[in-house]
């Protein structure tokens, strides 16, 4: 199968460190600023707002340009600090290696950050980039729909397991050979609405990444796929 993993909130926890990263960035660029902790909390709330489904749908419906705020050196420093603090979820690097050992094609399938090229930079910095068979990043050069078409152009009609902590991205996307796997990440799960989930066919919900092997078995069984090994 082709297994595409989102990055933030799926393979790594880069959310619980947002506030700390803002504090570090504020200390580097605005050492004179009082109440840095308070400003960090405010900036964190703004950042998390961008993760909400309504904003996400607009963001990935088409191609977006880099917002002005994220052209500032402060924003680059914040992303750097966030990347340094980021930690893998559920030994995700070993999970990727195990999936590849079992013959699956494992790709990175995630949205670009607000700074051009930042997602690839973070994938490399955190040691994930070279683990993947392919890296597809949508949101800047290609839309989400175009990225899904690219998966088909590269890999044909193979079963595509799309793993993401933001299930609203699944709505209206993919095809009959796409299986949708929602990784239930606490910080972003609160934004998932029941009415959106009801619109997703072939939806699998996992609370730890290693349960992807159970999903693979279930998909093989439901689709009558025989393990030739």
Q: Is the pLDDT of residue 38 over 50?
A: yes
Q: What pLDDT does residue 56 have?
A: 47
Residues across the chain: 229
Q: Is the pLDDT of residue 107 over 60?
A: yes
**Residues 109, 6: Cα–Cα separation, whole Å:** 5
Q: What pLDDT does residue 130 have?
A: 98
Confidence of residue 140 (pLDDT cuts 50, 70, 90): confident
**Residues 29, 89: Cα–Cα separation, whole Å:** 30
Q: Does residue 94 or residue 57 have the better pLDDT?
A: 94
Q: What pLDDT does residue 172 have?
A: 92
**Residues 150, 44: Cα–Cα separation, whole Å:** 33
Please count the helices (runs of H) and the strands (runs of E) in the chain.
10, 8
Query: Residue 178 in 3-state DSSP?
Result: strand
Confidence of residue 39 (pLDDT cuts 50, 70, 90): very high
Q: Does residue 92 contact residue 209 with C-beta atoms inside 8 Å? A: yes
Residue 199 is classified by DSSP as T
Query: Residue 169 in 3-state DSSP?
Result: helix
Q: Does residue 61 contact residue 143 with C-beta atoms inside 8 Å? A: yes
Q: Say what the pTM is.
A: 0.91
Convert the pLDDT of each residue in 119-135 to its tens digit. 999 999 999 999 999 99
Q: Is the pLDDT of residue 55 over 70?
A: no
Q: What pLDDT does residue 28 have?
A: 95
Q: What is the mean pLDDT of the chain?
A: 91
């Amino acid at each position: 199968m082709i297994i595409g993993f989102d990055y933030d909130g799926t393979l790594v926890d880069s959310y619980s460190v947002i506030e700390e990263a803002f504090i570090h960035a504020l200390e580097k660029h605005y050492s004179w600023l009082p109440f840095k902790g308070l400003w960090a909390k405010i900036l964190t709330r703004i950042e998390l707002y961008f993760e909400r489904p309504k904003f996400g749908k607009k963001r990935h419906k088409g191609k977006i340009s880099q917002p002005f705020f994220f052209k500032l050196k402060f924003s680059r420093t914040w992303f750097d600090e966030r990347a340094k603090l980021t930690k893998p979820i559920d030994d995700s690097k070993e999970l990727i290696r195990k999936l590849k050992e079992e013959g699956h094609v494992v790709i990175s399938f995630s949205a670009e950050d607000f700074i051009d090229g930042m997602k690839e930079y973070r994938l490399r910095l955190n040691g994930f980039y070279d683990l993947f068979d392919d890296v597809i990043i949508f949101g800047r050069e290609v839309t989400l729909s175009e990225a899904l078409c690219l998966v088909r152009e590269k890999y044909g009609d193979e079963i595509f397991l799309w793993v993401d902590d933001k299930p609203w991205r699944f709505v209206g996307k993919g095809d009959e050979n796409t299986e949708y796997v929602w990784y239930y990440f606490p910080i972003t799960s609160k934004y998932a609405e029941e009415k959106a989930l009801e619109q997703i066919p072939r939806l699998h919900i996992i609370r730890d990444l290693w349960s992807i092997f159970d999903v693979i078995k279930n998909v093989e069984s439901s689709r009558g796929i025989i393990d030739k090994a």
